Amino acid sequence: MTTTDLSPPTPDDDLAALGVAWDIDTLLGADTVDALLDRADAQVAGLEQWRGRLAGVDAGGLEQLMGQLADLEDTLGRVGSYVGLRLAVDTLDPEAGALMARVSERAAQLATRTVFLELEWSALPDEQVATLLADDRLAFCAHHLANLRRYRSHLLSEPEEQLLAEKQVSGGSAWVRLFDELTSSIEVSLPADVAAAAGLGDGGERVVAGLEQGLALLAHPDRDVRRAAAAAVTDGLTPGLRTRAYVFNTLLLDKSVDDRLRSYPNWLSARNLANEASDSSVAALVEAVTARYDLPRKWYRLKADLLGVDRLADYDRMASLATTETQIGWSEAREVVLDAYRSFSPVLADAAQRFFDERWIDAPVRPGKRPGAFCAYTVPSHHPYVLLNWTGRTRDVATLAHELGHGLHALLARPQGVFHQTTPLTLAETASVFGETVTTNALLASLDDPADRLALLASSLEDSIATVFRQVAMNRFEDAVHTHRRAEGELSVERFGDLWVAAQSEMFGDSVEITEGYRSWWSYIPHFIGSPGYVYAYAYGQLLALSVYARYAERGPSFVEDYLALLAAGGSMDPVSLGRIVDCDLEDPSFWDAGLDIVAAQLDAAVDAARASGRLA
């Protein structure tokens, strides 16, 4: 059970966001985990009565079937979200781990009993399907049902599908959980003076911190602090490096087997299908971004001048350009983000306020807590949650705005129901990046000091570089490891390092020195493990969101209604149709170039601010 001390926070507590813990018990309500699993069992038994009946189903019958399936998804979504969120805040809790395993095993067994539904649906003639989906009674699930049929050529027989579903719990899912536990337990041993400079403690020769706290120090204005922090992170990654490499190798093999059995032409095809994106369109995105690698290289050379060094090292890339490093408390950050959202839409601001007031956020850094940040949609009948690892950096404010964007997207799309609430990954970052951009631009409008504007513009530009160019570079790394694993067999730690450096070097050119320690930094990134192929969606989403924001800049307040309509539509349409709601043509070959031109404009604005501040001639 989650409990929180609701007494007024002290300044130090506020800086660490202590007490900002979510209440996930509402997911269960008056039920227990076992009661929900038993309910799901009964719901599956009801669905099994449909076996062999889909060939003759009419629209009314299909409406009834999909309603029953929605009830099952809600039940399993609640219990699955509960155990997943409970484990996320403490991956070292054996009770939480055992509960997650029990729920996953039971859910997999239930899933095997409903495999026949997708197989029977996929076997129906196109003409019959078209007639069914044209009926208004199926509007709540029509796009979902149409999408399922796109997988027809990749489905196996029912016994094979049942076997794969049940074995997944002891296969891929188990390895992903192991990776999460391994990375959550990574400790970074910092020299006492470095830790003190970051406000992490004093006294003693060294201070042990979490991985997130170590990585946060890469934004510190003092290069000696950044260098020492990077060395400490590398040292922290070293003990379990071979184990994490083995986990990655195993999952690479697991995916190659799955792709072969399902006849996917390449390692990314399954992800593209889920994203409702063609292989060729994704290749065009990657080509467009890699063709503009000159933008990050130009920025990194300029930043070297601003920092007074001949050439950036990898640990310098995120260095703050602020003349003083200001720590931000939770209360201040909350008001900054809410005010920014309110400047765009009071509707969004009021919805965002609920995340704070109703305990939908878990913010503090804790031992065993999963690194990074995320938003969990849960189920449409409930509400989303946001997880952060708050370190009091300026960057954390942007992360808060970003994850709240995800949360607001989930909240506004709840009326779409369980089949249409979520979008493909290619649109999943739209609201988050848009919210981050609104927050950044609201802060810029309040700043008069050229040095402060430079620091914020630089941070915004670096977010774009990290989200567009670095994510595509990571996609190139993923492409290399999947390809080489299939051609060469198991990859060594050294081979992973070579492929990582090659992909990063392609982006950096000669603008950044890659240190020896950086060779292992691929090994803590969860997307490679749990969501293969995910990362290019960040670039897609960033460029789309920047284009959406450009429409807002052009149209002003009249744009707000269309934007809210986009969020409320969830995943009820294909990405191209969703883009049209906000005047974005995703089929236009020049679309990616337009987004990249916005990044180039961010770079020009940062250069102008550097000159205005007197730091650049």
94-149 pLDDT tens trace: 999 999 999 999 999 999 999 999 999 999 999 999 999 999 999 999 999 999 99
Domain holding 105: CATH number? 1.20.140.70
Residue 60 lies in a domain: yes
142-165 pLDDT tens trace: 999 999 999 999 999 999 999 998
Residue 126 lies in a domain: yes
Q: Domain limits at 47?
A: 31-170
478-534 pLDDT tens trace: 999 999 999 999 999 999 999 999 999 999 999 999 999 999 999 999 999 999 999
Q: Indicate if the pLDDT at residue 428 is higher than 80.
A: yes
Q: How far apart are CA 547 and CA 544, in angstroms?
A: 5
3-state secondary structure (DSSP) of residue 74: helix
Residue 97 lies in a domain: yes
Number of independent structural domains in the chain? 1
Q: How far apart are CA 274 and CA 150, in angstroms?
A: 9
312-322 pLDDT tens trace: 999 999 998 87
Residue 577 lies in a domain: no
Burial zone of 153 (CB within 10 Å; 0-12 exposed, 13-18 middle, 19+ buried): exposed
Percent residues over pLDDT 70 in the chain: 97
3-state secondary structure (DSSP) of residue 294: helix
Collect all residues with Cβ–Cβ distance below 8 Å to 526 and sequence separation of at least 6: 179, 180, 183, 371, 372
Residue 57 lies in a domain: yes
Q: Residue 204 — pLDDT band, cuts 50, 70, 90?
A: low
Residue 586 lies in a domain: no
Residue 48 lies in a domain: yes
290-338 pLDDT tens trace: 999 999 999 999 999 999 999 999 999 999 887 666 788 999 999 999 9
SS (H, E, C) 11-41: HHHHHCCCCCCCCCHHHCCCCCHHHHHHHHH
Residue 102 lies in a domain: yes
Q: What's this model's pTM, rounded to 2 decimal places?
A: 0.84
| Phi, psi (degrees; rounded to nearest 5) at 67 | -65, -40
47-97 pLDDT tens trace: 999 999 999 999 999 999 999 999 999 999 999 999 999 999 999 899 999
